Amino acid sequence: MDALRTVTRDIDTNSTKISARGVQVHYGDTHAIKDVDVDIKERSVTAFIGPSGCGKSTFLRCINRMNDTIDICRVTGDIRIDGDDIYDRSIDPVQLRARVGMVFQKPNPFPKSIYDNVAYGPKIHGLARSRAEMDEIVERSLRRGAIWDEVKDRLHAPGTGLSGGQQQRLCIARAVATDPEVLLMDEPCSALDPIATAQIEELIDTLREKYTVVIVTHSMQQAARVSQKTAFFHLGNLVEYGDTDDIFTNPKDRRTESYISGRIG
Amino acid sequence: MTDIPSGSGAVARTTMDKVHGSLARRHRKQLILQIFGITAISLAFLMLFILLASLITTGHKAFTQTEITLEVFIDPEEISVERLPRGNFTNVLAAAVAADLPSVDQQDRAEMRVVGGILSNGAQFQLRDRVVEEPELIGQTITISVPVSDPYDQLHKDLLDRETPENLRRLDDTQIAYYDRLVENGAIAASLNTGLLTNADSRFPELAGLKGAIMGSFWALLTCFLISFPLGIGAAIYLEEFAPKNKLSDFIEVNINNLAAVPSVVFGLLALSVFIGLFGLPRSAPFVGGLTLALMTMPTIIIATRAALKAVPPSIREAALGLGASKQQVVFGHVVPLAMPGILTGTIIGLAQALGETAPLLLIGMNAFITSAPATPFDSATALPTQIFIWADSPERGFVSRTSAAILVLLTFLIMMNAIAIYLRSKFERKW
Amino acid sequence: MTTLAFAILLVASLAAYALNRRAATTIRDGGARLHSVSNYHGLFALLLMLVPVLVVILIWLVLQGPVVNAMVMWALPAGTLDGLDTGQADLILAEIQSISGGRIFGDPEPWKLAAAAHLTELRELAALGLVLLTALLCLAIMYVARRKVAAGFRARQGVERIISGLMIFCSVAAIFTTVGIVASLAFETYKFLRLVPLTEFLFGLNWEPQIPIRADQIAAAGAFGWLPVIAGTIVITFVAIFIAVPIGLLSAIYLFEFAPKRIRSVAKPLLEILAGVPTVVYGFFAILVVAPAIRSLGASMGIPVAPNTALAAGGVMGIMLVPFISSFADDALSAVPRSMRDGALALGATRAETVLNVLFPAAIPGIVGGVLLAVSRAIGETMIVVMAAGLMANLTLNPLESVTTVTVQIVTLLIGDTSFDNPKTLAAFALGMMLFIVTLIINIFALRIVRKYREAYD
């Protein structure tokens, strides 16, 4: 009921945030992404689903140009955020990544204190002018990461000492600390237990209010629970893209149907 | 809806502006770090380049030897068949040189000594050996090429500056005039210095060669290999495949890792006090050197062998065990043969290190002055690195280029050994 | 004769192998079921003979020399050795040995000739004894082994037990080496400390290990305070580390993060060449190129530089350590999980920021371990300093001056003929003991850090 209502709202108010046209990715000789077109709406959660090796993570990493860090990876095509071509020569990946945050499959806090983990992004980008301002950013980010109450008394304890779910929420807090517009999440719950997963899913739903969230997930239930739009990838192709409810109740493509009903994957 | 701040776009804009503002500074910092890195690595390579360049520029001159070709009349008055070894070959040779220099008064003994000094001290022995071999040459005139002595060799190689004032020069004007005259006659020429590899050590640079050192190193490395290879492999196989995980095997492991880092000179002290002092083994013998090097090489071999054994996948072991083979049959029949290329590579690299090792050999006396190559590992000898040390310490100018040449020979051996290791690794490397 | 003993052993072992194998085959052909295949019966005999007899031969060979020498010296006419120290006695022994070997110089005294004849005789006797003993042992073992062959005999287990024993022996050899080092150093150091008090050695400010050669010679009594020597070691080590650490770390960071693949594939093997150059070559490089360069540089700036300045030896040692440090740093940086790198890059960190703020701090323990091992190497490095540093102990911390090091003193004190009972020789062992202890402590500490660090990310 609630999901239906938000979907309607999204269609009413949100414009396109990210638009991709004819994206191709090659890893050495492997053709990993084949001609993908997609439009991702602002302030919504879009889920990428599909069997392992279908290219959903690879496509996600194109959006903040993390694929640049892999020598053999070649990306062609056109990806725009708010109309800016992010693969344009004038775009600095450093600046782009401040604008497009990312959360990884395995929680990867730096071996520093909780405070320093969150403060790292604002510090390198020069977002805080004073210590007090930094404290404020850290607190705000930790609150947005829904972990403030758990760590406010031990901000200077090492981030690696937290539990897996807490670490992942810390990483989310770290990602939102630079005030990005887009948040990419690469299977953020696959290393977590069910309780921690539920907490993160709840958090993702609140993040939608401020950020455009793109999440890669293995679990169809998760996609159904948190997303408004779903894209189904298979063997490097974007097979089907649409409202989550439509994809899960009334898939148009036979491959999507087979995947959702558990025949491929 | 209303709780989303309508100004969030503006906030984002200012964030982006801040990020944008910091970019130039941050990229500059990155550039500086890169420049530092490039500078550092270039410095290291510059040093390597200077090292090799200085060795080659000083050393290449030692690969040629200035020789003089003489028509020698073997005067029966000076040399008789009965007293062949005691014949006065020096006089015969000096006379031959003087024949080329019309200005020289053959009766003036002092002048004849200067003329004889053009030739290397070894020339007389070369002639003697020739005559001893064919006594019928006495009374005849033969053509013979002998090395000139060190100062003339230096002069011929432009290492001796004619512009230096005469009193500071190793050759006075008369001697240089002799030399020029001989060059005019076409008697003096530089030829490939085979003596560098076929002669043993000598006090005279123009005669000194590396044969003794190479043989010494050969015997020492052979001893080292024969001891460290079986011991090292045995220990590695036991520790990797059989040893129970207990205090003793932990202790052995810590021990081996520490031994690999003990300063080499300490092994020399051990050898001096135990092998020579306690066991009474001979000083300066390549055998003792090899024994010492074996103790130092063993940890390297053990560590390499264990790595090679670890790389063999457990599935091979399980497959063989599943067929009812005993643990030892599995290890010696399957695991060790598969690990052999890795083991051999590690061993060769260990031996290459041993070949360059100097300090422990100095302590056991392998820096002695020995003019014959060792025939057995128990004869006194030097080794290549200790020979380099001796020559580097010698005051004669001619030894500077000999030292560089000896280093080039040593480096050639090391490169060859490493090339074999690399070849083995690439040929037999297996990806599981 | 020794070769003959080995030959007998070899032939007998092969014979024992063939004999037992044949016997086992015969039993099998007779219809009995063997516990072990006949090959193992042969191997059992082979090992049973080879191992113990080889041990006996080796022990004999080790003991033969000293025993024969002692018997010769003992049989010398009474009174010849009175009042001689061990060095002089060794000289007499050496002369007797060379006479016995046929190299006679001058006209030796008749008692020396007699002793030489005695020596020759004893040696021949010993060699004959060895051959006889080998032959007897071989026969006895062959008999015992042959008796063992039976259908139920567990030859494979026997063989495997012997091989296990051999392997354990090999493993323990490492312990023997350590024990040998510690025992020999401790023994000689103990003798040294009976001549020179420990407090003087540890706290003395003078190191002048000259001792009078003749009793009436006017010379300093010799001073054995190691502080100036260790000060020199510290100066040179400091210079080396001061050069090696920045160059090594910066090259490692560049190669790890920024260098294009092609440059990396060329630069790493080149660095390995730098690491593979023998230290004696670096020493020659120091005296041939570096020391003159530093001196003329100093002269051009009006700074007096000692000919054996610590800068030359330390600088060249620093170059030697660059590949060592950079390979440790490279390993440590590579060991930091890729997710750390991705995390920092995804936040918009530049690659420089990623390396400096995230990877480098995470790799610090591994790098510190590597630097400590480099320090231990610098302290123990011998050839560079023997060739390029000074000989005179000089209590100073100025790297422009000439200083000496622990290893230089060990080598110079022991080069040439030495006897084991004067303080000069023993001082070298005392220095060796200190060197061993210091480097051992650093190594254990460093290896522990490195291992802990590896475990943290595995």
Q: What is the pLDDT along chain B (432 residues), one digit of tens a residue?
A: 334 444 444 455 577 888 888 888 999 999 999 999 999 999 999 999 999 999 999 888 888 888 888 888 888 878 777 776 677 788 888 888 888 888 888 788 888 888 888 888 888 888 888 888 888 888 888 888 888 888 888 888 888 888 888 888 888 888 888 888 888 888 888 888 888 888 888 888 888 899 999 999 999 999 999 999 999 999 999 999 998 888 888 888 888 988 988 999 999 999 999 988 887 788 889 999 999 999 999 999 999 999 999 988 888 888 888 888 888 889 998 899 999 989 999 999 999 999 999 999 999 988 888 888 888 888 889 999 999 999 998 888 888 889 999 999 999 999 999 999 988 888 877 665
Q: What are phi and psi of A231, to 5 degrees?
A: -120, 130
> Domain boundaries in chain B?
61-193, 211-428
> Which chain C residues touch A if contact means CB-CB below 8 Å?
261, 337, 339-350, 353, 357-358, 361-362
Average of per-residue pLDDT values in chain B: 87
Q: Note the CATH number of domain B211-428.
A: 1.10.3720.10
Residue A179 zone, left/alpha/beta (φ > 0; ψ -120 to 50; rest): left
* Number of neighbours of residue C55 by Cβ within 10 angstroms: 11
CA atoms of B103 and B96, how far apart (whole Å): 14
Q: Which of A95, A127, A210 sits opposite B23 (nearest CB)?
A: A95
- The predicted-structure confidence for B118-153, as pLDDT tens digits, reads as follows 888 888 888 888 888 888 888 888 888 888 888 888
Provide the Cα torsion C67, C69, C73, C75; round to 10°: 60
Task: Pinpoint the residues of chain C covered by CATH 1.10.3720.10.
Answer: 220-453
In angstroms, the separation between the Cα of residue C386 and the nearest Cα of chain B is: 9
- Provide DSSP, B87-100: S-HHHHHHHHHHHH
Q: Which residues of B touch C253 (CB under 8 A)?
A: 33, 37
- The predicted-structure confidence for C51-110, as pLDDT tens digits, reads as follows 999 999 988 887 887 788 888 888 887 777 776 766 677 778 878 877 877 777 777 778
Those residues whose C-beta lies under 8 Å from the C-beta of residue B362, and which sit 6 or more positions away, are B268, B386, B389, C386, C411, C414, C415
Contact A188, A101 (CB under 8 A): no
In angstroms, the separation between the Cα of residue B210 and the nearest Cα of chain A is: 50
CA atoms of A141 and B141, how far apart (whole Å): 103
Q: Tokens 């000259």, residue?
A: C210
- Provide DSSP, B400-422: HHHHHHHHHHHHHHHHHHHHHHH
Lowest mean pLDDT among A143-157, C146-160, C443-457: C443-457
Integer-rounded Cα Rg, in Å, for chain C is 31
- pLDDT for the residue numbered B247: 87
**Pairing state of beta strands A182-186 and A212-216?**
parallel
Those residues whose C-beta lies under 8 Å from the C-beta of residue A212, and which sit 6 or more positions away, are A17, A18, A40, A41, A42, A43, A44, A46, A181, A182, A183
Instruction: List the 21-50 stretch of B: residues with Cβ below 8 A of A.
Output: 21-23, 26-27
Bridge partners of residue B335, in order along the sequence: none
- pLDDT for the residue numbered B388: 95
Which of B2, B11, B15, B19 to mutate to test binding with chain A, by most A CBs within 10 Å of its CB? B19
Q: Which residues of A touch B22 (CB under 8 A)?
A: 124-126
Which of C256, C261, C265, C347 to mutate to test binding with chain A, by most A CBs within 10 Å of its CB? C347
Return the closest-CA partner of residue B395 out of B148, B150, B55, B66: B150
Half-sphere exposure in the Cβ direction for C367 (13 Å, CA):
21
Residue C432 predicted with pLDDT over 70: yes
Return the closest-CA partner of residue B327 out of B336, C166, B250: B336
Those residues whose C-beta lies under 8 Å from the C-beta of residue C53, and which sit 6 or more positions away, are C9, C134, C137, C138, C141
Chains that touch B (3 or more CB pairs under 8 A): A, C
Amino acid at B136: E
- The predicted-structure confidence for B361-403, as pLDDT tens digits, reads as follows 999 988 888 888 888 888 889 999 999 999 998 888 888 889 9
Q: What is the ipTM of this complex?
A: 0.88
CA atoms of A108 and B407, how far apart (whole Å): 51
- Which element (helix H / strand E) includes B38? helix B8-59
Task: Quote helix, strand, coil % in chain A, to nearest 5.
Answer: 40, 25, 30
Return the closest-CA partner of residue A210 out of C347, B7, B18, C345: B7
Amino acid at B319: A
Q: Note the CATH number of domain C220-453.
A: 1.10.3720.10
Identify which has the larger pLDDT, C396 or A63: A63
